[in-house]
Amino acid sequence: MSRTSLARIKVLYIAGAGRSGSTVLGNLLGQLDGFFSCGELYNIYRTPPDQRYCGCGKLLSACEIWDAILRRALGEDYIPQTAHALRLRNAAARSRHALLWAAPFLRSRMVQGAHEYLALTRQLYRSIADVTGARVIVDSSKVSSYGQLLAQLPEVDLRLIFLVRDARAVAYSWQRKKPKPSPQGQIHIRPASPLRAALSWVGHNLAAELLVRSAGVPSLRVQYEQFAMSPCQVIERIIQFANEPVQASLLDDNIVAMKVHHTVGGNPDRFRTGPVALRPDDEWRLKMRPFDRALVTLLTWPLLLRYGYRP
């Protein structure tokens, strides 16, 4: 039996809203010795493995890493099994389930109802640890209810990274069309209006707050802007938070040589390799329409203040 099979599985779970920098943060952490970034593992069953791309550019079923992981987790004939796993996930860990998992008097019922999915999730993380040999798995799923579910697994040493970003920067980012590859050819992630982006930002951050308060596991809040400005300092804080030995810096003048990562979901930037400059993205300050900026500020100002931003 391997060392990873005997130890608890240490998972750094990134919570928060989309377009907050979780993909680049997760991939950068994944380049540390002993760390493995799996991207948004919550979405691994959303499409079959022969139709979902790994960050390495191959389909999951053709990727040596994920093929081995899924064979261990679901069995040799794993592709048909993903539809059943998705139904189990949707019944237990959709965003709408966050309040149910957070309520102490309902949690035992949720655990009982999610028994089969918890067993599958336990086996999935164990398979990742065994195949990759990683001490730390970085999961950037961000879904609060899924984080609540992970907190119920005694085999998982869960640590939460609550990643926040200025709501106006998030809303501006959601107006950009982002291309992503698919077996049907290149498609684009649908942009979101400033109104929808602002409401989503509020909802996801409140759900992350609920996760931090109710999960009973260690948590660390990280500002995206601070990470983009001083990535070495933030990465060192996260390493110490994970109770791992501090490593030599991966960056030279805020530029990282991004390697190939075996991520199963996330922002299309997960496919980027080579030199990547980490700099604050402040384009929204100059190019965001005044009405959009005012609307997003009006809808999000209480949390903006809470997280250290000026309305």
CATH of the domain at 140: 3.40.50.300
What is d(CA 183, CA 246) in angstroms, rounded to the nearest whole number? 40
Mean pLDDT to the nearest integer, 157-172? 98
Q: Are the beta carbons of 238 and 161 closer than 8 angstroms?
A: yes
Owner of token pair 């909802």 = 203
Mean pLDDT to the nearest integer, 199-203? 98
Q: What is the pLDDT of residues 91-109, one digit of tens each?
A: 999 999 999 999 999 999 9
Question: Is residue 123 over pLDDT 70?
Answer: yes
Q: How does residue 178 score in pLDDT terms, banded at 50, 70 and 90?
A: confident
Mean pLDDT to the nearest integer, 113-129? 98
What is d(CA 247, CA 243) in angstroms, rounded to the nearest whole number? 12
What is d(CA 103, CA 249) in angstroms, rounded to the nearest whole number? 41
Residue 237: inside a domain, yes or no? yes
What is d(CA 297, CA 171) in angstroms, rounded to the nearest whole number? 10
Mean pLDDT to the nearest integer, 58-85? 97
**pLDDT of amino acid 194:** 97
Mean pLDDT to the nearest integer, 171-183? 79
Query: CB under 8 Å to 103, separation ≥6 — which residues?
Result: none
What is d(CA 300, CA 268) in angstroms, rounded to the nearest whole number? 26
Residue 311: inside a domain, yes or no? no
Query: CB under 8 Å to 255, separation ≥6 — which residues?
Result: 275, 276, 277, 278
Domain encompassing residue 206: 3-306
Question: Is residue 22 over pLDDT 70?
Answer: yes
Residue 35: inside a domain, yes or no? yes
Q: How many domains does the chain have?
A: 1
Residue 201: inside a domain, yes or no? yes
**pLDDT of amino acid 3:** 43
Question: Is residue 188 over pLDDT 70?
Answer: no
**pLDDT of amino acid 4:** 45
How many Cβ atoms are within 10 Å of 270's Cβ, its own excluded? 28
What is d(CA 40, CA 26) in angstroms, rounded to the nearest whole number? 10
Strand partners, 276: 256
**pLDDT of amino acid 310:** 94
Q: How does residue 251 score in pLDDT terms, banded at 50, 70 and 90?
A: confident
Q: Are the beta carbons of 107 and 101 closer than 8 angstroms?
A: yes
**pLDDT of amino acid 253:** 83
Q: To the nearest whole number, what is the mean pLDDT of the chain?
A: 93
Q: Are the beta carbons of 126 and 11 closer than 8 angstroms?
A: no
Provide, rounded to the nearest whole percent, the portion of the chain with pLDDT above 90: 87
Question: Is residue 160 over pLDDT 90?
Answer: yes
Residue 252: inside a domain, yes or no? yes
Question: Is residue 2 over pLDDT 50?
Answer: no
Going by their DSSP bridges, the two strands 9-16 and 156-164 should be labelled as: parallel
Mean pLDDT to the nearest integer, 19-37? 96
Question: Is residue 33 over pLDDT 90?
Answer: yes
Residue 78: inside a domain, yes or no? yes
Taking the model in full, what pTM does it have?
0.94
Q: What is the pLDDT of residues 218-232, one digit of tens each?
A: 999 999 999 999 999
